[in-house]
Amino acid sequence: DAKTTQPNSMESNEEEPVHLPCNHSTISGTDYIHWYRQLPSQGPEYVIHGLTSNVNNRMASLAIAEDRKSSTLILHRATLRDAAVYYCILSGTYKYIFGTGTRLKVLA
Amino acid sequence: EAGVAQSPRYKIIEKRQSVAFWCNPISGHATLYWYQQILGQGPKLLIQFQNNGVVDDSQLPKDRFSAERLKGVDSTLKIQPAKLEDSAVYLCASSLRGGQFYEQYFGPGTRLTVT
């Protein structure tokens, strides 16, 4: 199963954009890239996913490198409620393998 | 729409005791997952059901853990007997179908402490 590498932690100021990187150099052609986040004392929640093209939704944008070996989750304006652990996951056939994620701290 | 429900939210037991967790997925969701999340780590898939059949239980410690999903709706996860290393949050998730195209919806989890 392909793995992902993320920084352990990042900080951002409130109302500024945040770029969360993820490396997945062993990604296969059929792997989707998913992002979930986990707020304190809650279960993970879906953020966004994509295969090859950049994706946008109401929560975030996902930028995928042309070779698909890396991707970046973009939060356009961070708020205090965005403080969470963000997981970048590759789904092969059907199974999610979570890493340790990036803990995002948002400074007021 | 109601989310994934889990109970209890917290449980403290002594080692070698038994414990059971209950999950009610989102209505109409065919696929149900149980994850174990140890403090400081990401969730680890224990078992996946498609309706009431098991799709993947390769990481379920079958000597002590069991799970069932009767009638393809609610599910229970049981640990018997518990060990200290079973202390974790047990998360239930559901999705409309299996496969990587479908978003997983997670419940709030059950925090288990084994003393």
- B103 and chain A in contact, CB less than 8 A: yes
Q: Cα–Cα distance between B76 and B87 in angstroms, integer? A: 17
Tokens of B28: 């109409």
Closest residue in A to B107 (Cα–Cα)? A43
Contact check, Cβ <8 Å, A44/B55 = no
- B104 and chain A in contact, CB less than 8 A: yes
Across the strands, what pairs with A5? A23
Q: Please give the full DSSP string across A78-106, using - where no structure is assigned.
A: --GGG-EEEEEEEESSS-B-----EEEEE
Closest residue in B to A98 (Cα–Cα)? B42
Percent of chain B with pLDDT over 90: 86
pLDDT at residue A106 in the model: 97
- Contacts of residue A36 in chain B, CB cutoff 8 Å? 104
- B98 and chain A in contact, CB less than 8 A: yes
C-alpha distance from residue B75 to each of A30, A80, A90, B52 (Å)? 30, 35, 26, 9
pLDDT (tens digit per residue) in B56-94: 999 999 999 999 998 889 999 999 999 999 999 999 999
pLDDT at residue A79 in the model: 96
What mean pLDDT comes out for the span A85-106? 87
Tokens of B92: 């239930």
Q: Give yes or no for residue B30 having a pLDDT over 70.
A: yes
Q: Cα–Cα distance between A70 and A22 in angstroms, integer? A: 6
Peptide bond into B8 cis (omega under 30): yes
pLDDT (tens digit per residue) in B8-25: 999 999 999 999 999 999
